[in-house]
């Protein structure tokens, strides 16, 4: 499922501030490796001097990327014991944080410009993964409550292990297995349960071959030649179900939109990340066909990667106002 920001950030000389990131993103500055190593000593073995005289890691080394993620989550968000099984997706932390900050802005637009915080805000993370990064960051920064779903029992078991290592997180973040992969909401959303947001980072590709080709293009564009070092077949790892599905991103998101109709009055904003601009026309058609009353597209850019969040709601303006009054401004 996923983006490839880390390598894009560091393959060129790092600026003093990553101005493409959201203004509230805590990762706009350069990585402070001295502080990161202080909280996660094993990162020291992965840090090396880059061609520009600064410190970095080898982003083609999955172990180094994992160590950096562990250090960032501990130092910035207070998360202990973060880890993922071999070959599972190791997501770029700054990009995941950006996604959440833009979703916070979306909720603020329905709340007089004020970001709703605390446990009154409930978020459904579709495809939470073994890394559980969205709920970890979202709860740390905004205090939101999360339900994370996945079709992979191994991924959920690992995510639960992370939660168990951090006091109180299992109360704020609940994990549920989606036993029927053809369904997205049914089977994991409980009767009468409501969410202020749903979010998803869907599988990009229609096949693993397409995913591999995309990774090879990315490394080539970043000037990392395969004959100089062994580069990973899939950038930042990822199981097949994390990276691809039949029909790719567009088919998955259109199915999500179609099924969201069944829960139209139980969520304020349904949202999804869209990686490929070519997916947008089909997604917009699906939103229109589903009868959503409003939709928004939020552009994002992290390093060389551009993506966007597409959001839709079945509630009119008066219903949105009543929602925020009932849930956030009691």
Domain CATH number, residue 145: 3.40.50.150
Strands (E), the chain: 47-49, 55-57, 122-126, 145-150, 173-177, 195-200, 267-274, 294-302, 305-313
The CB density around residue 198, as the number of other CB atoms within 10 Å, is 26
d(CA 256, CA 273): 12
Residue for token pair 């770029």: 92
Helix ranges (H only) for 222-299 are 240-243, 248-260, 280-290
Instruction: State the total domains in the chain.
Output: 1
pLDDT at 246: 66
Residues 6+ apart with CB under 8 A from 300: 22, 98, 99, 102, 306, 307, 308, 309
Q: How many angstroms from the chain centroid is the CA of residue 4? A: 11
**Dihedral angle sign, alpha carbons of residues 141, 200, 306, 71:** positive
pLDDT at 204: 58
Q: Which domain holds residue 23?
A: 5-327
d(CA 296, CA 213): 31
In Å, how far are 200, 204, 210, 273, 280 from 277, measured between CA atoms? 16, 11, 16, 11, 6
Which of 311, 222, 243, 300 has the alpha carbon at shortest distance from 272?
311
pLDDT along the chain (330 residues), means of 10: 39 58 94 95 92 84 92 97 91 95 97 95 97 98 98 96 97 97 95 96 60 49 49 47 63 96 97 95 98 97 85 96 90
Q: State both tokens at 235.
A: 């950038």
- Burial class from Cβ neighbours inside 10 Å (0-12, 13-18, 19+) for residue 39 reads middle
């Amino acid at each position: 499922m996923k983006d490839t920001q880390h390598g894009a950030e560091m393959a060129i000389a790092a600026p003093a501030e990553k101005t493409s990131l959201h203004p509230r993103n805590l990762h706009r500055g350069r990585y402070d490796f001295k502080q990161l190593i202080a909280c996660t000593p094993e990162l020291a073995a992965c840090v090396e001097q880059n061609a520009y005289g600064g410190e970095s890691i080898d982003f083609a080394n999955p172990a180094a990327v994992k160590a950096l993620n562990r250090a960032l989550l501990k130092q910035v968000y207070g998360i202990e014991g973060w880890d993922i099984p071999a070959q599972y997706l190791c997501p770029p932390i700054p990009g995941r944080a950006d996604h959440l900050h833009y979703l916070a802005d979306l909720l603020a637009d329905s709340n007089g410009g004020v970001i709703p915080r605390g446990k009154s805000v409930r978020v459904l993370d579709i495809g939470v993964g073994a890394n559980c990064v969205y709920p970890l960051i979202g709860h740390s920064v905004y205090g939101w409550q999360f339900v994370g779903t996945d079709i992979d029992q191994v991924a959920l078991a690992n995510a639960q292990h992370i939660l168990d290592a951090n006091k109180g997180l299992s109360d704020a973040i609940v994990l549920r297995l989606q036993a029927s992969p053809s369904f997205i909401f049914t089977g994991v959303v409980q009767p009468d349960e409501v969410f202020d947001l749903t979010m998803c980072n869907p599988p990009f590709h229609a096949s693993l071959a397409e995913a591999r080709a995309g990774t090879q293009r990315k490394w080539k564009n970043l000037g990392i030649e395969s004959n100089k070092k062994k580069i990973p077949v899939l950038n930042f790892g990822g199981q097949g179900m994390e990276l691809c599905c039949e029909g790719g991103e567009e088919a998955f998101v259109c199915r999500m939109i179609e099924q969201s109709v069944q829960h139209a009055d139980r969520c304020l904003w349904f949202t999804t990340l869209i990686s490929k601009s070519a997916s947008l026309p089909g997604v917009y058609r699906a939103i229109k066909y589903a009868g959503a009353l409003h939709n928004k597209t939020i552009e994002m850019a992290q390093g060389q990667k551009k993506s966007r969040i597409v959001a839709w709601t079945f509630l009119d303006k008066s219903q949105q106002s009543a929602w925020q009054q009932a849930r956030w401004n009691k």
